[in-house]
Structure 1
Amino acid sequence: MRIIIDGDACPQRVKEICEQAAREFRIELIIVVDIDHYIVSDFEVIVVEQSRDSVDYKIVQIFREEDILVTQDYGLSSLVLSKASAVIHTAGFFINKNNIDNLLQSRYISERVRKQGGKTKGPSKRTREQDENFKKCLYKVLHEKLGKGQRRTIKKP
């Protein structure tokens, strides 16, 4: 099991929560970004060329059974959902087989409105509640899949 982060547009606090969890549970963390995004991490960062969906293609390529995906991208989510332990939106909710169709439909409608010159609600300012909800989702999956006995906190020197 690994945590894979779609690093393009990933909030800093989400990245920090994932890094903390990866350390505590001693699991691999991979952040995938395009060349236009500069990410510094103690964990693996995969940098791909800047082109439409290049990060998504790389994530699909490296994604394995039981990995956890952290993303805001519903299209990418739908591609890995069948083999993921969990897909967690950076806003702090699970993307799953029960809500993916509605999320994709909502995205499609918003794209249509924008193409016709209309406006849709843009992203709102990140809240502390979103950070807390994200952390709850991530730790819930880690506890369910790895069990409390697997969690080993690494003490800092």
Structure 2
Amino acid sequence: MKLWIDADACPRIIKEIVFRASERLQVPVCLVANKSMAKAHSRLVTSVLVEEGPDAADDHIAENAAPEDLVITADIPLAARIVAKGGVALDPRGELYTEDNVGDRLSMRDLMQELRGAGLVQGGPAQFSLTDRQRFASSLDRMLTRMLRERL
């Protein structure tokens, strides 16, 4: 089991929560980004720097993550790819992507992208809050507990 982080847009506080969980449970973490990252202070954390490109990090994660891994991403198309492979994906705001909801989330994302492109809607998601951080930490703990229990 490994934790994968789509690191380009992942909030720093989410990475820190994942690093603490990694140390506590001794689960390796791989950060994937297309720009240079600060070194993590743990033997369990590795980084992969991919080439520049809109989906290079997503492609790397989708190709290398196994079904028993957990992927942390806000990128809905990447989450859809992971779920289609039988994997587990978690949003940095704590929402678990599943077969039941990822299609709807992808459709809504596409609709909002079209509406923004037409100038009918402006802005993006709400600013990251303390509630989001707490929800993520709780969801991460629940998922890791379940996934580690299933491995036994």
- TM-score computed with the length of structure 2 as normaliser: 0.89
Q: Secondary structure of the equivalent of 1:45?
A: strand
- Post-superposition offset of 1:62: 1.3
User: Which residue of 2 is the match for residue 126 of structure 1?
Assistant: 128
Higher relative contact order (CA 8 A, sep 6+): 1
Residue 39 of structure 1 pairs with residue 48 of structure 2: no
1-side partners of 2:128 and 2:113: how far apart? Answer: 22
- Post-superposition offset of 1:121: 3.6
User: Which residue of 2 is the match for residue 111 of structure 1?
Assistant: 113
- Post-superposition offset of 1:102: 1.2
2-side partners of 1:120 and 1:74: how far apart? Answer: 19
Question: Where in structure 1 are there 5+ consecutive unaligned residues?
Answer: 151-157
2-side partners of 1:94 and 1:27: how far apart? Answer: 19
Q: How many residue pairs end up in the alignment?
A: 146
Runs of 4+ in 1 over 2 A off after TM superposition: 37-40, 117-121
- Post-superposition offset of 1:83: 2.3
**Equivalent in 83, 86, 107 of residue 83 of structure 1:** 86
Q: Secondary structure of the equivalent of 2:48?
A: strand
**Percent identity between the two aligned chains:** 23
Structure 1 residues 120 and 102: CA distance shift in structure 2, 3 A: farther
- 1:48-67 aligned at under 5 Å gives the runs 48-67=50-69
Question: Where in structure 2 are there 5+ consecutive unaligned residues?
Answer: none
User: Which residue of 2 is the match for residue 24 of structure 1?
Assistant: 24
2-side partners of 1:38 and 1:123: how far apart? Answer: 24
RMSD over aligned Cα atoms = 1.5
- TM-score computed with the length of structure 1 as normaliser: 0.87
